[in-house]
Amino acid sequence: MQFTVALDGPAAAGKGTIGRAVAKSFGFAHLDTGLLYRAVGVKVMGRARGVIDPVLAAVVAEKLTEKDLDRPDLRTALASRAASRVAAVPEVRAALLDFQRKFARREGGAVLDGRDIGTVICPAADVKLFVTADEATRARRRHVELVKSGADTTLDRVLNDLRTRDARDSVRDTAPMIRAADALLLDTTELSIEAAVAEATALIQKKIEQGRD
């Protein structure tokens, strides 16, 4: 059976946590598509000494392998910034399209989280959720995560980075981050992880049952 769940929304809204949890409970495969852009970003930064060259970025994206997604440095603030910059290059997005679409169509169901899953990658997804939370909450969550992973940063810096990244992701010409017209809004500001996962789970369950009728 093929069943695609599209989770989009800004950084640190809870997409990844919800994606992993629902994939586990329904036995679906999960793809954090941000990792693709992060992997391209860090590789390009490594080779170009800090300057993003769009031509090089497109070549790197075309040659990306699943092994690149296992790099230990993909969750750093530097990788987030690099990802959002290469993600604005249309040729990079085009190079990563097929892989994501194939993943979405795999047998047994798939959950993809990102920015353009419900709008560009899988416009016909069975379930679409736009996961969001207010800026201060998202910054607090990301700050806790970064500090836990050993990063030396401040809440202010994290908030600034989130703002810059969200703005760049929303205004770019190719596949900007926007809520698909048919995506359900899930605001996690006041929700515990369990409550957010429960809402997403209920929606997916309902869709699966409707498909069986």
List contacts with ligand C5P (CB under 6 A): 11, 33-34, 37-38, 80, 83-84, 87, 114-117, 165, 169
Instruction: Give the 3-state secondary structure of 42-58.
Output: HHHHHHHCCCCCHHHHH
Q: Are 109 and 2 in contact (CB under 8 A)?
A: yes
DSSP state of 56: H
Tokens of 57: 């970025």
Nearer to ligand C5P, 126 or 208 (CB): 126
Nearer to ligand C5P, 30 or 38 (CB): 38
Nearer to ligand C5P, 125 or 169 (CB): 169
Strand partners, 156: none
Q: How far is the CB of 199 from ligand C5P (least distance, A)?
A: 20
Q: How far is the CB of 94 from ligand C5P (least distance, A)?
A: 13
Q: Are 12 and 142 in contact (CB under 8 A)?
A: yes
Which single residue is written with the structure tokens 């989280």? Answer: 113
Strand partners, 130: 8, 185
Nearer to ligand C5P, 182 or 206 (CB): 182
SS3 breakdown of the chain: % helix, strand, coil, rounded to 5? 55, 10, 30
Q: How far is the CB of 191 from ligand C5P (least distance, A)?
A: 19
Q: How far is the CB of 171 from ligand C5P (least distance, A)?
A: 11
